[in-house]
Structure 1
Amino acid sequence: MDLTEHYNQLYKTSSESILKQNYSLDSKINDPSDSRFGITLLLRPNEKIKSNIQLFLNELKAIEPNQYYYPDSDIHITVMSIISCYEGFNLNKIHVEDYIKIIEKSLEDLSKIKIEFRGVTASNSAIMIQGFPSDETLNTLRNKLRENFRNSTLEQSIDSRYSIATAHSTVMRFTEKLQNPEKLIEVVEQFRDYNFGEFTPDKLELVFNDWYQREENTILLKDFEL
């Protein structure tokens, strides 16, 4: 996949929809009864990058203060959604150690992962930071995870929603009617090619999480050193 082309096409389609007021609102983000949980393998950017992201988010907050913005603690890149969030899932349904063993097997002989956060894109319900892996290491890991989990009998839903191929990070979600879509897109345009920084993660995290990866609803199951 050509990530630049993918992000550009996504932005073109989504920004046009937002300007036409044809966007979607997330109705569940403030719903305390939302019981969608799953397990995810993820990585997190470093503090400098998160600080740069917050500078961008502050610009958006000045225009759209009532939307949902990700705090530093929740910003992440999904490496693989192993069990996509669904209502009623809990850790009693699985044996975590079995999942850890498969991930450890998938990490054998893996090179360092390096990702550049450069520019922003959008969907019709969110704003995202564009991530660009420096090589095929992340894709190699994802393919190993796919193969190893499919060859197991463990519960998993890898690629059930879509086949993950990007390295983006969602940082804002629309939760109510936009006050000024034109101004929002204007600010996003200013950051379309902004360099948020490059990082080489020293670990991956396996977590039990809600749909939004909120820290207060997340349980760390295992750190995997890289």
Structure 2
Amino acid sequence: MNLTEHYNQLYIKSSEVILEGNYKLDTQINNASDSRFGITLLIRPNEKIKANIQLFLDELKAIEPHQYYYPDPDIHITVMSIISCYEGFTLDKINIPEYIDVIQQSLVHLDQITIEFRGVTASPSAFMIQGFPTDESLHNFRDKLRENFKKSTLEQSIDSRYTIATAHTTVMRFQEKLVNPKELIATAAQFRDYDFGEFQVENLELVYNDWYQREKNTIRLANFII
């Protein structure tokens, strides 16, 4: 996949949708009874990058203060959604050590992963920071995870919603009607090529999480040093 082209097309289409007022609101963010949970293998960017992301979010907050903004602890890149969030999923339904074993098998030949965060893109319901792996390491690791989980008998829903190929991080979601969509898009446009920083991935986390990866609802199941 050409990530630059993918992010560009997503931004162009989504910004048009937002300006036309056809964006989508996330109605579940403040639903205390939301029971959608799953398990995810993820990467967290370093503190410097998260600080740069918050500078961008501060600009958006000044225009649209009532939307949902990701706090530092929740910012992440999804490596693989192993069990996509669904209502009623709990950890007692799975054998966690077996999942850890499959991931460790997949890590054997993993090369160093380096990711550059540059620019922003959008969807009809959110803003994301664009992530660019500097080589094929992340792509190859995902393929190895797919292969090894497919060979197992473990519950998994890898690629059931879509085949993950990007390295973006979602940082803002629409939860209320936009007040200033034109100003919002104009501000996002100023960050289209902004350099948020580059980092070398030092560890991966396996977590039990809600739909929004909120820290208060997250249980860390394993940490993999790479």
TM-score scaled to structure 2, two decimals?
1.00
CA positional deviation for 1:216: 0.1
Q: Deviations over 1:132-154 (max 9, x none)?
A: 00000000000000000000000
Q: Deviations over 1:196-219 (max 9, x none)?
A: 000011100000000000000000
Amino acid at match of 1:100: I
Query: What does residue 104 of structure 2 align with?
Result: 104
- Cα RMSD of the aligned pairs, angstroms, is 0.3
- Tell me the secondary structure at the aligned position of residue 119 of structure 1: strand
Q: Deviations over 1:80-110 (max 9, x none)?
A: 0000000000000000000000000000021
Query: What does residue 47 of structure 2 align with?
Result: 47
Query: What does residue 130 of structure 1 align with?
Result: 130
User: In the aligned structure 2, how far is the partner of 1:15 from the partner of 1:109?
Assistant: 40
Query: What does residue 120 of structure 1 align with?
Result: 120
User: In the aligned structure 2, how far is the partner of 1:185 from the partner of 1:41?
Assistant: 31
Q: Is 2:188 the partner of 1:188?
A: yes
TM-score scaled to structure 1, two decimals?
1.00
The percentage of aligned residue pairs carrying the same residue is 72
Which residues in structure 2 correspond to 1:15-54 (within 5 Å)?
Answer: 15-54=15-54
Give unmatched runs, 5+ long, in structure 1: none
- Aligned positions, number: 226
Amino acid at match of 1:197: G
Amino acid at match of 2:164: I
Amino acid at match of 2:110: L
User: In the aligned structure 2, how far is the partner of 1:40 from the partner of 1:206?
Assistant: 6
Q: Deviations over 1:142-194 (max 9, x none)?
A: 00000000000000000000000000000000001000000000000000000
User: In the aligned structure 1, how far is the partner of 2:121 from the partner of 2:202?
Assistant: 26
